[in-house]
């Protein structure tokens, strides 16, 4: 059995102890991480290496940042996907944000993805988000066209709630013209399913959320969202035997606003 997890930790250095405790407790084989919020030169490499994980990280400043930690191999590391969109606002030079990293772990091509937020329906970031997802989808389609039996996992914080049940109150989102639930964002998410990727977690965790904002007592009030996913290619989906969302990790001091999502694969 192979365990793959994804977790937006919302600052790895601030939650290093929690991440290390979680790794030891859950015994996962691969962890993809989003929002590390650090550069390569201040990334806590020893946290993973001391626990027998190889780790690859992509970070350039205190924003964004993605990583993959694996104890079943870490080969063919790739930072960014082909033609990954860049963002430039207000006439500034476009920059390549550290939002995607891949590695082959135990024969599975695994991506850690931190999809742009969008910020507001009419914000420049929304156009960037939709373009970013469209280019990623084109890449993913190409991978499957090249090898229909490829084992690929697109994991991370997608910043999209694909169905009305994935937010605590859809009317609240519609009344306030909020992102994450717009037709365009949901169509972008569905486009991955249309080319063959699946969400194997939902069948095991119906009604569960993966994110609760720090404000307005969202967590104790149960006002969450499901925006973190592990989408799997057809060949990999056939190996998924179980999946879970670790809601308990949202509790206690110093918790991230996201929780881990885990899939278990048959050998």
Catalogue all structural domains in the chain, each as residue range(s) with its CATH number. 2-265 (3.60.10.10)
Q: CA–CA separation, 53 vs 10, rounded Å?
A: 20
For β-strands 75-79 and 108-114, DSSP reports them as unpaired
pLDDT, one tens digit per residue, over 62-73 is: 899 999 999 999
Give the N- to C-terminal CA distance of the chain in Å, as an integer. 5
CB 135 within 8 A of CB 81: yes
Q: CA–CA separation, 248 vs 119, rounded Å?
A: 28
pLDDT, one tens digit per residue, over 1-35 is: 999 999 999 999 999 999 999 999 999 999 999 99
Q: CA–CA separation, 211 vs 255, rounded Å?
A: 11
Q: Which residues of 165-195 are buried (b: 16+ CB within 10 A; e: fewer)?
A: ebbbeeeebeeeebbbbbeebbebbebbeeb
Looking at residue 95, what is its pLDDT? 82
- pLDDT above 90 covers a percentage of the chain that reads 95
SS3 label, residue 164: helix
- The H or E element spanning position 165 is none
Looking at residue 18, what is its pLDDT? 97
Over 80: is that where the pLDDT of 91 sits?
no
């Amino acid at each position: 059995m192979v365990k793959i997890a994804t977790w937006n930790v919302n600052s790895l250095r601030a939650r290093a102890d929690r991440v290390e405790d979680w790794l030891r407790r859950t015994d996962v084989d691969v962890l993809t991480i989003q929002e590390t919020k650090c550069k390569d030169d201040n990334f806590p490499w020893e946290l993973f290496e001391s626990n027998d994980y190889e780790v690859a990280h992509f970070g350039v400043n205190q924003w964004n940042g993605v990583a993959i930690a694996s104890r079943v191999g870490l080969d063919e590391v790739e930072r960014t996907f082909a033609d990954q969109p860049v963002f430039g606002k207000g006439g500034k030079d476009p920059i390549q944000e550290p939002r995607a990293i891949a590695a082959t772990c135990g024969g599975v091509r695994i991506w850690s993805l931190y999809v742009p937020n969008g910020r507001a329906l009419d914000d420049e970031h929304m156009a960037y988000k939709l373009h970013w997802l469209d280019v990623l989808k084109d890449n993913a389609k190409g991978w499957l066209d090249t090898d229909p039996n490829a084992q690929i996992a697109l994991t991370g914080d997608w910043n999209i709630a694909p169905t009305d049940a994935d937010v605590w109150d859809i009317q609240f989102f519609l009344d306030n013209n909020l992102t994450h639930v717009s037709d365009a964002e949901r169509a972008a998410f569905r486009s991955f399913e249309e080319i063959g990727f699946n969400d194997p977690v939902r069948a095991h965790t119906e009604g569960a959320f993966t994110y609760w904002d720090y404000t307005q007592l969202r967590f104790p009030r149960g006002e969450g969202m499901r925006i973190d996913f592990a989408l799997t290619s057809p060949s990999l989906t056939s190996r998924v035997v179980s999946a879970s969302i670790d809601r308990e990790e949202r509790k206690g001091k110093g918790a991230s606003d996201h929780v881990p999502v885990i899939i278990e694969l048959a050998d």
